[in-house]
Amino acid sequence: MSDSGSPDERGKSAAPDAQESLKAARSAEKINEVLRSAQQRTYTQEDLDLIKEKDKPLYDKFLALDKGENGVDLGQNLTETVERLDAELVKYENKTEDNSGDKISEGKEEYPGKNDFEYFKKRLTDLKMSDSDWQKMLKDVAENGLSGRGVIEWYDKGNDSDSAKAILDNRWDTQEKFLAGVKDRLKNPKSVVIKSSGDPMTGAGASEKTEKEPLSKVFEIADFALLAIPTYLESTSPLKEDPNKNYDALKSFIDSKNLREEDWKFMLEDVSANGQGTETESGLFKGFRTIDNDDATYHDDMIKFYRKYPTLKSYLEAAEGHKVDDPTLHDFPTQRVVATIQNYFPNGGTTETYKKVSETADTEEPLDTIVDITRLNINDMGDPKEKERYKTKFVELIDGYLGGSGYHRRYGVGINEVSSVLAPEDPADSMDLPQIVEEFYEYTGDEDEIVKNESENEIRKFGDEVQGIYDQENPVAEPEKTDDDKKKTPHTDGPKKPGESDGGETYNPDAGGSGPEVPTEDSTDTSTVDEEEEFVADSEAKKEDEPEEKDDTVKETGSRDESEKAKETQESLRSHDESLNILNDLAKWGFKVKGNRNFKERIEQNLKRKYRREYGDHLQVHLKNIEVKNGVASISFLVHGEKDKDSGAHTNEFMLKGFAKDGADKTIGATTKIGETDIQDSEANRDAVKKMFQKSVFNELFEPLVLDQTDIGVEDKNSELSRLAEYVKETYLDSDFEKPIDKRRAAKYAGYRNKIQAEKALDANWTALMASDVLSDDEKTKLKTLRNK
Amino acid sequence: MATLLEEVIDLANTVTALNAEQKERILKVAPTLSESDLENLKKMITDVRDSFDSAKHEIEIREEVASKFKIYTKEKKVEELHETEAKEQSEDVAKAETLLNNI
């Protein structure tokens, strides 16, 4: 209203306030404060409309201000400009002081970039001292000094205390405040009073003048922090106890573990090759992922690390040398090393590790078996994602089965070897991965059964009892021994007929009602009298061993249903026994069969899978006979179309033979016995079948199941003893008993797959070894003592 | 003709954004500098001055806007008050006339 006056006049009346503010500012910082304060004022659109309505030119100026997202922050710009000027002034001042011969750090250890604030700031920041430690250090040093602790000899106590007190007096209780304070002091040196006492006797010439604090004084405080912090951390801080940040603690930690060079080597080799496991796995490396979740990076790092420090000694020497420039070992690899050692040797020394290794030793056999039977070629799988999924799954299975990774290498089977199995060079070695995984599960399941051996024996005993009763009640189960039967036995071009009784060990899955049903005349006729007699005799022998009262009990309670169940049980057990018989037969001829369960079924499954893959699902395959004779293992099987199942027409019989005895002749012969009305009876077909089986089927059927075919005959037996002698001399006789790594290597040198296999061979050939002359009497005595034989 | 050193010193003395201590340091160090360093220092001082002037300009505009907005707001409220008063007065008059007419 009447007291408001015109806008222009009122604007002029307001301007002096702004001018006063500017006048009072006097420095960039103050101006910046005023500007920031002015910028705090915001306007609504309605407000702006009002201004626009009243004073359009002013409104336009306001909108044009170079501020905010689209323009330059003038306040910040001003601050930075002034800071640049300050930094330049400091540089010029230092240059002037240096030129004048005023050595700032005279008599003290110099470092690159001294008197350079930015360098100082970086060095201080890199030390990564917490503010709580900072405060603790300042109070401690202010009170006690540093030299009193004997850690900085050239720094006298007074200067340390004075510097620490000066920092505390300035209330630079955080490093951020300290840096800001030092920076400010460098820009704006405070005034100090310089007193001169004059003549000591008369006092003449005494004077007192005020001068600016020299920059050297400021840097003296900076120097204190820069050099005192690491020394203090090393000597007094709780970090002294941290092996990750203190050399002495690191050395003490490693010393406490009583690590040997071979432990160091083992640890790094193992981790770099196999990783550290996962949180969900058991084993030494459980929880290691809490340190590093990235396995790949970890492996790479560990491999590099191993190359750099191949010995424990070299690592410790490097750490000791490193601490001179970096007392907190900030840039030295400690964390992973300390953590890995702790995981490998939680209770110190090597005992714990090797104990764990030995505890898991029993798992080696399944792994080896699985790896060996895994002749798969995942590259054949069409879907890359599916392929990768299976691959990952398979590795996980193996990994998990061992109770954590890292041990594969110990058993001679590393990840690389597993990988080579996953992608074999020869596609003929391939198998379907799903099948492998399935077999893996089956195998591990079997292992569990073996653990329950006692209870299984109980079941078997019961089954034998029931079988005795069943046999008495069902005499038809006994095959008749007639000459006609023998004539009906199919024959092949192989060396012997299946079931032919010429002193060889035979097995016929169709005998006694077990094994796959083959509804052909040939197949049913393959039952041999000798085999059945053997089996019955065996059953009778088992029966004789059983208490008779149990037979009575079963007789009293036996109903038809129970009899059928018992029959099924007995058939299952018989099948199992037959597998064992095959194993025994194979073993007699030097075939060391891996895996002792479901042997027959596994061979048949392999056979079916292979055949179907080649010829399609319309063909049925049945295992007919397995024979091991004179070092020759043969398998005969039947192939027929689905529609010919009942008629027996179009049935082919094939026989595969593996020659084990003569090392020079290990090729596989494939012979065929063609059914009478076989439409596939052609030379080309036979050749094709032969070719296919020569290369792949034997590998699939036998090789995975046979560890070693060389230890046949007297000569080979002697070779075996020689290998064992070499092994025991390297391990038991010439070395300390507890040297698992040496055992492993010795086993390899002696030609064994690993130490487990060597130990098993030692057990198996113990008597022969003791009776041989490959070891002296003294050596035998010592060996007996060490192995408690 | 002023030397470069004199120009730098004069410039430093006229820049409001520099405080007394900064000016003193410039005066102290400038005589020891080479010509190229002096040129550099002059440029940096000039930058400070320009930055200050820009900031000053923004402050002045903002201060002016703030002060005038205060006045404008007050004026607006007065006007609104006058309008309200006039309206109420008008209503009162109308009401009175109505009463008079009803008598």
> Dmax over Cα atoms in chain A, in whole Å?
146
Least reliable range by pLDDT among A81-90, A332-341, A384-393, A575-584: A575-584
* For residues A42-71, average pLDDT: 77
Walk across the sheet containing A505-507 and list its strands: A505-507, A619-629, A632-641, A652-659, A668-674
Lookup: tokens for B5: 């050193």
Residue B32 is predicted with a pLDDT of 82
CB atoms A51 and B78 under 8 Å = no
Q: What does residue A596 show for φ and ψ, rounded to 5 degrees?
A: -120, 20
pLDDT at A721 over 60: yes
CB atoms B72 and A7 under 8 Å = yes
* For residues A495-502, average pLDDT: 31
CB atoms B64 and A10 under 8 Å = no
CB atoms B47 and A85 under 8 Å = yes
Nearest by CB to B51, which of A14, A43, A81?
A81
Rounded-to-integer distance, Cα A325 and Cα A428, Å: 60
pLDDT category of residue A676 using cuts at 50, 70 and 90: very low
Residue B45 is predicted with a pLDDT of 92
Residue A201 is predicted with a pLDDT of 59
Tens of pLDDT, residue by residue over A101-110, are 333 333 333 3
Q: Percent of chain A having pLDDT more than 70?
A: 29
**What is this structure's pTM?**
0.27
pLDDT at A681 over 60: no
Nearest by CB to B68, which of A11, A25, A41?
A11
**Chain mean pLDDT for chain A:** 55
Rounded-to-integer distance, Cα A465 and Cα A483, Å: 32
* B88 reaches A (C-beta below 8 A): no
Lookup: tokens for A132: 């709580």
- A30 or A274, higher pLDDT: A30
Smallest Cα–Cα separation from A275: which of A307, A249, A302? A302
Contacting B residues, span 34-73, partner chain A, CB-CB under 8 Å: 37, 40-41, 44-45, 47-48, 51-52, 54-56, 58-69, 71-73
Least reliable range by pLDDT among A211-220, A315-324, A420-429: A420-429
Most confident segment among A164-173, A222-231, A350-359, A604-613: A164-173
* For residues B82-103, average pLDDT: 85
Contacts of B60 in chain A (CB under 8 A): 15, 18
pLDDT at A317 over 80: yes
pLDDT at A322 over 70: yes
Q: What does residue A614 show for φ and ψ, rounded to 5 degrees?
A: -80, -35
* For residues A111-118, average pLDDT: 54
pLDDT at A655 over 70: no
Query: CB–CB of A343/A281 below 8 Å?
Result: no
Long-range contacts of A637-644 (CB under 8 A, 24+ apart): A637/A604, A637/A607, A638/A518, A638/A520, A638/A522, A638/A523, A639/A611, A640/A520, A640/A675, A642/A618
Q: First and final CA of chain B: distance in angstroms?
A: 97
Global ipTM: 0.80
Least reliable range by pLDDT among A69-73, A209-213, A303-307: A69-73
- A713 or B56, higher pLDDT: B56
Task: Give the Cβ contact number of residue A563 at 10 Å.
Answer: 16
Tens of pLDDT, residue by residue over A116-128, are 677 677 777 777 7
Contacts of A61 in chain B (CB under 8 A): 61
Residue A186 is predicted with a pLDDT of 73
Residue A80 is predicted with a pLDDT of 80
Tally C-beta pairs within 8 A across A and B: 154
Residue B46 is predicted with a pLDDT of 92
Nearest by CB to B64, which of A11, A78, A81?
A11
Residue A303 is predicted with a pLDDT of 59
Rounded-to-integer distance, Cα A733 and Cα A97, Å: 77
Rounded-to-integer distance, Cα B29 and Cα A91, Å: 10
Residue A127 is predicted with a pLDDT of 74
- B62 or A391, higher pLDDT: B62
Tens of pLDDT, residue by residue over A180-201, are 887 777 777 777 676 666 665 5
* B27 reaches A (C-beta below 8 A): no
pLDDT category of residue A173 using cuts at 50, 70 and 90: confident
pLDDT at A493 over 50: no
Residue A743 is predicted with a pLDDT of 65
Residue A338 is predicted with a pLDDT of 82
A541 Rama sector, left if φ>0, alpha if ψ -120 to 50, beta otherwise: alpha
Task: Give the Cβ contact number of residue A520 at 10 Å.
Answer: 23
Tens of pLDDT, residue by residue over A391-407, are 555 555 444 443 333 33
pLDDT at A724 over 60: yes
pLDDT at A334 over 70: yes
Nearest by CB to A27, which of B19, B41, B73?
B19
- A581 or A374, higher pLDDT: A581
Lookup: tokens for A423: 């992608």
Long-range contacts of A600-609 (CB under 8 A, 24+ apart): A600/A509, A600/A515, A600/A575, A600/A626, A601/A575, A602/A439, A602/A705, A603/A635, A603/A701, A603/A705, A604/A516, A604/A637, A605/A435, A606/A697, A606/A700, A606/A701, A607/A635, A607/A637, A607/A697, A607/A701, A609/A431, A609/A432, A609/A435
DSSP label of A227: H
pLDDT at B35 over 70: yes
* For residues A718-731, average pLDDT: 76
Residue A499 is predicted with a pLDDT of 33
pLDDT category of residue A14 using cuts at 50, 70 and 90: very low
* For residues A424-443, average pLDDT: 41
Counting Cβ atoms within 10 Å, is residue A235 exposed (0-12), middle (13-18) or buried (19+)? Answer: middle
- A641 or A251, higher pLDDT: A251
Tens of pLDDT, residue by residue over A683-700, are 544 454 444 444 334 444
Least reliable range by pLDDT among A128-132, A506-510, B79-83: A506-510
Residue A348 is predicted with a pLDDT of 60
pLDDT category of residue A596 using cuts at 50, 70 and 90: very low
Most confident segment among A361-375, A431-445, B50-64: B50-64
Rounded-to-integer distance, Cα A424 and Cα A512, Å: 40
Residue B70 is predicted with a pLDDT of 85
pLDDT at A529 over 70: no
